Structure 1
Amino acid sequence: MAKQKTVITCAVTGAIHTPTMSDALPYTYDDIATQAIDAAEAGASILHLHARNNETGAPSVDPEDFKPFLGRIKQATDAVVNISTGGSLTLSIQDRINPAATFSAEMCSMNMGSMNFSFHPLAKRYDDWKFDWEKDYVANSDGNIFRNTFRDIKEAATTLAPHDIKFEHECYDVGHLYNLKFCVDIGLFKAPIFIQFVMGILGGIGADIENLVFMKKTADKLFGDSYRWSVLAAGSAQTPLAAAAAQMGGHVRVGLEDSLFISRGVLAESNAQQVAKVRKIIEELGCEVATPDEAREILGLKGGDRVNF
C-alpha cells in the first residue's frame, strides 16, 4: 500500500513576530510575494498568508493589503493559498474573515476557541525597535484574549460556506478538539476536516511529543478516519515535531510565522530555507512530499481555478 504523501504548509509572515526580530521576516508586499513563491518552489504546497502594512510592517486584515501579493503568487505558482482569519487579537470575527471572503481562497485558518494568546516575553529581548508600534504591541499582548466563541465560529462557517473554503482548524489545546467535534456534529464543517495541532504557544499546549501523541489519539477518538492532520510547533520545537508528524502519518507546517530560526540560536535566512530543511528531513525519513494538486486531493479542496484573485 502506497504511503500517503506529506503536505508542507509554509506560514510566511504571521502576526506575532515584528520586523525588529529578524531582517528575514517579510512585511512589504514585494517581500511577502517573493518569499511565498520561493517557499513554494522549495516544496511547500500550501502557503498560509497574513498581510501587513507595506510601510510599517504592522499586521493588517485590510483586503487592500492582501491584493498586491496574492496576484503575484497566483501567477507564479500553483500552490494552495490559505488566508488567515487571525491577524489580530482585538478585531471582530467579521473583520478577520473579510479577506478570506473577499478573495474566496481555497483555504483559511480558524482557531477553534478563545484563549490567552501572548508573546509578551519577547519584548524583553530587544532594546531598539525599527517601528514605534512594535514594543507596545508585543509587551501588551499579555492583556489580550484571542476571541473565537461558538457564535464567532458559526458566523465564520456560515459566511464562508458559499465559497467552499476548507478550514485549517487550529487546535491549541485538547479542548479545541472537543469544540471542533461539537461544530462538526451540528453541521458547520464537512469531512474530511483538516486539523492543525498548534503547539508551544504561550496560552496553549506545550510542544512535547507526549502532547502530540495525546492530541492525535484524542482526534482519532473524536473523528475516526474523517480528518487529516498537521503539526506546527513554535520556536526550536518546529523541526523535531515536524519530523515526528511525518513519521506518524501527518503533515507539517513551518515558516517564519511560527519560528524565526533555522536551528537553535541561528536565525533563518528565509521561509524557503525552512521549507527546504523540513523537506530534506521528510524525504530522508522515507516519505514523499505532496505537490499542490496532491494536497488538494488529500484535503478535498475546490481548486485554484475557483478563487477570486
Structure 2
Amino acid sequence: MSQTKDKVIITCAVTGGVHTPSMSPYLPLTPEQIAADAIAASKAGAAILHLHARDAADGRPTPDPRVFEQFVPRIKASTNAVINITTGGSTRMSLEERLAYPLIAGPEMCSLNMGSMNFSIHPAARKIEHWKHEWEKPYIEGMEDMIFRNSFKDIKHILHVLGDRHGTRFEFECYDLGHLYNLAHFVNEGLIKAPLFIQCVFGVLGGMGPDPENLIHMRSTADRLFGRENYRFSVLGAGRHQIPLSTMSALMGGNIRVGLEDSLFLAKGELAASSADQVLKIRRILEELSLEIATPDEARAMLGLKGGDAVGF
C-alpha cells in the first residue's frame, strides 16, 4: 500500500468545541448552520466530516444527542461523506457525555484522543475586547487550569464500546510523540487493527509545536512503530499553520484536515467565511501540485470503513 501514489483524503472539522462565537461571526453554531457548512465542505471536496454539536441558544459546546440528531441525519441525506463524530467534545465534558451520541449513532468513524493532556487556548482571551455571551470568557480563560482526560482505561473503553460493538473505526488524534507510543500499546495488545488513521495535531498549547521538523519526526516514528504499510497519516495544523502543514503532509504522502474547528482564518488577517472555503483553498493547492483528491468511497476503501449504510442514523 504505497501512500505516495494514493489520493489525498481531506477531513473537514466544521465547528469543534474550542472556539467561541465572539472569535468569528462565521463559526457555525445552530444545527442548521452546522449542516449547511458541512454539506458545503463535502461539495468542495471533503471526504470526511468531523462533527461537534453546539447549543443553538448561545453557541456553547454540547454533548446532547438531541442536538446532534438535528443535523447529522440531514448531512447524511445530503452527502456521501464519511461522518466522523467526536469523542473529544470539550475539556468540560465527562467521558459518558462525550460518548452519549456516538453510542446511539454507531458512525463509520469517531475521533479518539490518544492520551490525557493540557489543552488550552487561554492566551486568546486577551485578544477579545467584546464578548457576545457570558460563558465565553470564563470558558476560554478557564482552560489554563483544565486537563483533557483520556486515560488508558478510558481509551480501552471507547475502543470496546464503539469499535468492537459498533464496528466504528477511529481518527487517532496524536498531539504529541508519546501519543504514538500510546497507540502502539493498544496495537500490541491486539485492541486495534490496521489500517490505522493517525491524525497528527500541531500547534495546540499543551501539545507539539508547529515546527516542520516535528512533522518529520512523527512520520518517522510512526514508520518505526507501525510500518508504513499499516497506517495512513494526516495532519492538522492549528491556526495559521493549517495550510502550510497540510501541504507538507500531502507532499509526504499523507492526508490533511482543515475546518473552522482548527483555524478561523483563510489567509493572514482574513477570517474564513466557511469551512468550505478552507477546503477549496487546500484543494487548489493540492491540484496545482498534481495530487488527486479522494472521494468519500475511496476514503472508505483506504481506511477500511464499514460503509454509510451500516450506521444508526
- The 5 A counterparts of 1:19-34 are 19-34=21-36
Would the aligned equivalents of 1:93 and 1:156 in 2 still touch at CA under 8 Å?
A: no
Q: How many residues are aligned here?
A: 309
Would the aligned equivalents of 2:203 and 2:238 in 1 still touch at CA under 8 Å?
A: yes
SS at match of 1:82: strand
Q: Distance in 2 between matches of 1:114 and 1:199?
A: 16
SS at match of 2:37: helix
- The 5 A counterparts of 1:57-136 are 57-136=59-138
SS at match of 1:132: coil
Q: Distance in 2 between matches of 1:193 and 1:180?
A: 10
4+ residue segments displaced more than 2 Å: none
SS at match of 1:9: strand
The partner residue of 2:223 within 213, 220, 224 is 220
Aligned to 1:144: 146
Q: Distance in 2 between matches of 1:285 and 1:207?
A: 22
SS at match of 1:151: helix
The partner residue of 2:293 within 273, 281, 289 is 289
Q: Distance in 1 between matches of 2:245 and 2:257?
A: 10
- Letter of the 1:63 partner, please give it: P
* Residue 301 of structure 1 pairs with residue 305 of structure 2: yes
Q: Distance in 1 between matches of 2:104 and 2:64?
A: 10
Q: CA deviation at 1:187?
A: 1.8
SS at match of 1:68: coil
Deviations 1:3-54 (A, max 9, x none): 2000000000000000110011001000000000000000000000000111
Q: Distance in 2 between matches of 1:216 and 1:99?
A: 32
- Letter of the 1:138 partner, please give it: I
Query: Structure 1: which 5+ residue stretches go unaligned?
Result: none
Query: Structure 2: which 5+ residue stretches go unaligned?
Result: none
SS at match of 2:50: strand
* Residue 265 of structure 1 pairs with residue 237 of structure 2: no
**Alpha-carbon RMSD:** 1.0
Q: CA deviation at 1:99?
A: 1.4
* Residue 208 of structure 1 pairs with residue 181 of structure 2: no
SS at match of 1:10: strand
TM-score normalised over the length of structure 2: 0.97
Q: Distance in 2 between matches of 1:194 and 1:66?
A: 24
Aligned to 1:40: 42
Q: CA deviation at 1:255?
A: 0.2
Would the aligned equivalents of 2:10 and 2:47 in 1 still touch at CA under 8 Å?
A: yes
Q: CA deviation at 1:154?
A: 0.6
Aligned to 2:259: 255
Q: CA deviation at 1:91?
A: 2.4
The partner residue of 1:178 within 173, 178, 181 is 181
Deviations 1:90-125 (A, max 9, x none): 322222122111111110000000000011011111
Would the aligned equivalents of 2:18 and 2:90 in 1 still touch at CA under 8 Å?
A: no
Q: Distance in 2 between matches of 1:41 and 1:22?
A: 23
Q: Distance in 2 between matches of 1:109 and 1:163?
A: 14
TM-score normalised over the length of structure 1: 0.98
